Structure 1
């Protein structure tokens, strides 16, 4: 493989990740003619835009995704001459042919409006540079091929958030335009409850705490994100953590996201000196804590082999159902690879406590 090309693809993919959920993206814009008579905005846009229904326009407006002169308006708003109208969404507009693929999905819940899936580590959420097939979107496009939303070939059909390729866990996907707009708005407004379980290097000083610091592209390594404590770069990010289990040289930690920046938990944990176990991008794929004994080194390397990815699992998701208006909650325990590594650390700690191995820092 050409390393330069691979690096360019990785950088493009990271740039794509950076943009998601951090701002609203313009999908369509128009300035009203000076001779235009006053007309409801939903009818005006239906007349102006090809291939889009009035219902779809109304749904976007109800979700606050239609702006007039920078302010969200309702479907009944009467357009006026020289108004600047924008349709915006919390994801960038992309065009890419999506090929439906019969890939099995682990479905936790499904109704007429949404589907909750447990994404395995190693699966990319949506097609992009270097990943044009085998993604969650390819699988969803096949599974939901009878729904209008998944017949347009949109690369992000139904998606309102994402998790990294090597992060496992829960994702919610919308099945229609109304649900998509309402869920996307909740993610943009940061009203979604998201809990992750992370296996991190080192013994946390506090039982719980909050990490704050703007996150943006690293100034030293274009493939990484970095924390800018003074806020001179990047975007506001907040992660709340709580130690679930102390396992000697690693801790199992619960992380609650207040914001949803690219690589947020991974870079925040690195920032406080506790990178994720086996996170190759943020330095966790080395032995950072522990003894000098070869037996211990072999133990850690075996753990790396069992879980050949960073130790992060999107455990639960809570949000307001787009149709019923009721708050719903879904969760899924960590997959076998991560659970097996945690269990091995439990056994290691038990053995060390029994005096099977001397400690040395």
Structure 2
């Protein structure tokens, strides 16, 4: 059965099953969340009557009719922007995002975004998970490079979001920071929210003032005197999380225009020295483990090499 059909007609053969549960089993191409939305939008009829309750119990011989509305047309235009693809199949794509590329349109960035590039690369992305951010499961900051997964189907979108929420997906970063932490590893558990005085910034904020629980694991990879190469693993995924947490620890990311402004390293950088190095997740359909490694960009590799040579000279 094609879940993109404008009208789907089904007959129930079992009893005492919740409507949304039954539909999720019958229509595996649609996520449970999408089905519940269709029910709430009066797109589902039970025995010719519109049903807006996902909780009703079905009986044998009940007739179900579902109207799948056309996807809301995207205002976004496909744009031919080169993508560095680390992995791709019909369900998802993992790209190595370059520095300077905004993930989705926002104020000041109407086009030229990763979403515009993806719409040109993947021809069936419209409407997956949201009109303005189709397929976007998680984000990377504009100047953060590295591995990022995008869903191509509703089912993959839901599955990948759940992996991030349940902390089964593993997101590992490499970054160069100012200074040298006393310990070799640690865990930062501090809530993050919008900065109370500067709306552009995020900050460590008490939960009572809007901060959300945020956890970052870190360890030292290599020390270069006044600079350190660090490995980070995200347990949560707040905006600017690594940048805020490590600056809170007193060791902001080198080149960070917001959290380490005013500091200079004598090397020209196009953005902060932070790279989403490895992404490990479960394939939404096969259940196999996918591990995507984004090679360290040349600018970051050059920075590490300069610090290494300075330290050993």
TM-score (norm 1): 0.68
**Structure 1 stretches of at least 4 aligned residues deviating more than 6 Å after TM superposition:** 43-46, 62-69
CA distance, structure 2, for counterparts of residue 140 and residue 172 of structure 1: 11
Match of 2:109 among 131, 135, 153: 131
Alignment of 1:98-113 (within 5 A): 98-113=76-91
Q: 1:312 and 2:274 equivalent?
A: yes
Alignment of 1:81-96 (within 5 A): none
Look up the match of 1:209: 186
Q: Given that residues 21 and 32 in structure 2 are in contact (C-alpha distance below 8 angstroms), is that contact kept between their aligned partners in structure 1?
A: no
- Report the CA distance between 1:342 and its aligned residue: 0.8
Look up the match of 1:356: none
Structure 1 segments unaligned to the other structure (5+ residues): 1-37, 47-53, 70-76, 81-93, 288-299, 352-361
Look up the SS of the partner of 2:208 in the other structure: coil
- Report the CA distance between 1:191 and its aligned residue: 2.4
Q: Given that residues 218 and 231 in structure 2 are in contact (C-alpha distance below 8 angstroms), is that contact kept between their aligned partners in structure 1?
A: yes
Structure 2 segments unaligned to the other structure (5+ residues): 1-15, 41-53, 58-71
Q: 1:328 and 2:304 equivalent?
A: no
**Alpha carbons of 1:245 and 1:78: their partners in 2 closer, same or farther (altered >3 Å)?**
same
Alignment of 1:121-270 (within 5 A): 121-145=99-123, 147=124, 149-150=125-126, 154-228=131-205, 231-233=207-209, 234-270=211-247
Equivalenced residue count is 269
User: Could you say which structure has the higher helix fraction?
Assistant: 1
Q: Given that residues 74 and 126 in structure 2 are in contact (C-alpha distance below 8 angstroms), is that contact kept between their aligned partners in structure 1?
A: no
**Alpha carbons of 1:65 and 1:260: their partners in 2 closer, same or farther (altered >3 Å)?**
farther
CA distance, structure 1, for counterparts of residue 81 and residue 276 of structure 2: 21
CA distance, structure 2, for counterparts of residue 207 and residue 124 of structure 1: 33
CA distance, structure 2, for counterparts of residue 64 and residue 267 of structure 1: 37
- Report the CA distance between 1:210 and its aligned residue: 0.6
Aligned-residue RMSD, C-alpha: 3.1
**Alpha carbons of 1:324 and 1:45: their partners in 2 closer, same or farther (altered >3 Å)?**
closer
**Alpha carbons of 1:268 and 1:63: their partners in 2 closer, same or farther (altered >3 Å)?**
farther
Q: Given that residues 20 and 36 in structure 2 are in contact (C-alpha distance below 8 angstroms), is that contact kept between their aligned partners in structure 1?
A: no
